[in-house]
Copies of this chain bind each other. A is one copy, B any other.
Amino acid sequence: MSVGGDTTGGAQHSRKVLSLQSMNANIRAMQYAVLGPMEVRARQLELELKQGTGKPFDSVIRANIGDCHAMDQIPVTYIRQVLGLCLNNSLLTSPDFPEDAKDHARRILSACRGHSLGSYTEGVGIDIIHRSVADFIQRRDGGVQARPKDVIITEGATEGIINILKMLNQPRDGKPTGVLVPVPQYPLYSATLTEFAMAQVNYSLDEEHNWALDIAELKRAIDECRSRCNPAAIVVINPGNPTGQVLTEENIRDVIRFAQEEGLFLIADEVYQDNVYGKDSTFHSFKKVMMQMGSPYYKMELASFYTASKGLVGECGLRGAFMEVINMDPDVRAMLTKLFTVSHPNTVGQVCIDCAVNPPKPGDPSYATFTSEREGILVSLAERAQLVTDAFNSIPGVQCNEVQGSMFAFPRLDLPAKLISQAKRLGQEPDYFYASQLLEHTGVFVVPGSGFGQKPGTFHFRTTILPSPELLKKMVQRFRVFHEKFIQSFM
């Protein structure tokens, strides 16, 4: 080979196979705001702090993501014990582990091939866990029937949501499938719809009525979308992410009626169902309400999602979740099952789900510890929800609806015209400009509202309520000082 053969002889193929031009254009277009450039910057700042670079703050406060254990929520002892026992069966004879945890581990292992969590399971998960989950749903829904065969264990709620959207994705008459999605929404929906080239049909939540769903707005959204897509499903996130509301039963009923009239598949993102704090708030599952509404509603197709990453458990790292899918055509359900046979959810996440839905009962050796941990976590979350609501509302130019549930507040910012113009000059969304400056000057990391969507001309940010009360107070204080100074500089 001659010198330079690299660039001459092979010229035809010295270009990359994959370039920005040749790669999947939908993935190129995908956006995932929760972890964008600000995440990269936050990591840089953390590194600089570690290296002793002078900053006007001593720590980055990560209020950007619902990462419970990262914010020092303690793992539930019972769950970790069962997992440890399942993975090290020599511990099954150790006096250091309680008998109920050992029994739980034995029950799981006896359902695994070769008595090992290292074996493959069914694509939809281990069968005895379907039964535990169905029992949990039935208790939760005041006795409304739940069937083990309607349960699919998934690799995080994300996998379940993606697979349901995937099933719905079938262009017809030259138009893509449309999915109604709230504004603001959790960006998993927008990212997945972009990846699948499906149509995102936005409906605005009613901020003035604590982020309720307004049926006239739903009607507007669906009527306007028909020229560009075939609407087939509606996503409702309850309790709200990023908005922190808990829907009333009446609001849920209205949405179900709307979905029935329009022939929509119901996608009920209920992953925050165990995170309810509002004094007058109760979680009602879409499934329960739908079944109690009788004919024709009880026959509607619905998928509801639950995760071990949130609530009391908070095991985001383990990727344990389930979905309940009801009233699906049996032939279609067989296709959904087939989709899950390509891979199965990891076994540790599955066990975590079994523990989450089937915790120690009164009389069990672990009950006292479990109860005390549960109360500690849930009471503290409720206090922080209140603290966040009150603190942001006390800052001039910030309004925050009550955090009734989930792990988030979505406060609204009054931004001066000059600040908005300055952001535009920088080619940034005004709330991105605000949030990135907040991070830069205070180390407080919240996500700009534009990453979730918001009514044009309004500006928000999403913050978690997860930092400890002390850290939250510190965070609000840093925020308050920055806010007043920053806003003032544009007046």
Chain A positions near chain B (C-beta within 8 angstroms): 1, 5-6, 9-10, 12-20, 22-25, 27-28, 30, 32, 35, 62, 65, 67-73, 75, 80-81, 83-84, 87-88, 91, 94, 96, 112-114, 116-121, 123, 155-156, 158-159, 166-170, 172, 188, 191-192, 232-233, 260-265, 295-296, 299, 301, 314-319, 327-329, 331-332, 335, 338-339, 341-349
Contact = CB atoms under 8 A, between A and B. Distances in A.
Contacts of A349: 346
Nearest to A121: B317
B119 A316 contact: yes
A123 B125 CA distance: 23
Contacts of A71: 114
B114 A6 contact: no
A65 B166 contact: no
A309 to B, nearest CB: 8
Nearest to A231: B17
Contact of A84 (B69, B88, B167): B88
B118 A23 contact: no
Contacts of A155: 155, 319, 343, 346
B118 A317 contact: yes
B119 A296 contact: no
Residue of A16, A28, A159 with most chain B CB atoms under a 10 A cut-off? A16
A67 B112 CA distance: 12
A52 to B, nearest CB: 19
Contacts of A319: 155, 343-346
B19 A263 contact: no
A253 to B, nearest CB: 15
Contacts of A159: 343
Give the oligomeric copy count: 2
A341 B346 CA distance: 18
Given A17-B232, A20-B329, 19 more contacts: A9-B296, A10-B260, A13-B260, A16-B328, A17-B168, A17-B264, A23-B167, A24-B168, A24-B169, A69-B119, A70-B113, A73-B114, A75-B116, A80-B88, A83-B87, A84-B84, A117-B315, A118-B314, A158-B342
A332 B88 contact: no
A332 B260 contact: no
A327 B17 CA distance: 10
Nearest to A39: B341
B346 A17 contact: no
A84 B92 CA distance: 12
Contacts of A83: 87-88
Contacts of A328: 16, 18
Contacts of A14: 296, 299
Contacts of A168: 17-18, 23-24
Contacts of A70: 113-114, 116, 119-120
B30 A339 contact: yes
A275 B261 CA distance: 57
Nearest to A345: B319
A91 B90 CA distance: 13
Contact of A17 (B24, B96, B158, B265): B265
Contacts of A346: 155, 317-319, 346, 348-349
B27 A338 contact: yes
Contacts of A35: 123, 341
B75 A342 contact: no
Nearest to A196: B24
Contact of A118 (B69, B263, B341): B69
10 contacts: A13-B260, A18-B332, A24-B166, A30-B339, A65-B120, A67-B120, A83-B87, A84-B84, A118-B315, A118-B317
Contacts of A19: 329, 331-332
Contacts of A347: 317-318
Contacts of A348: 318, 346, 348
Contacts of A16: 301, 327-329, 332
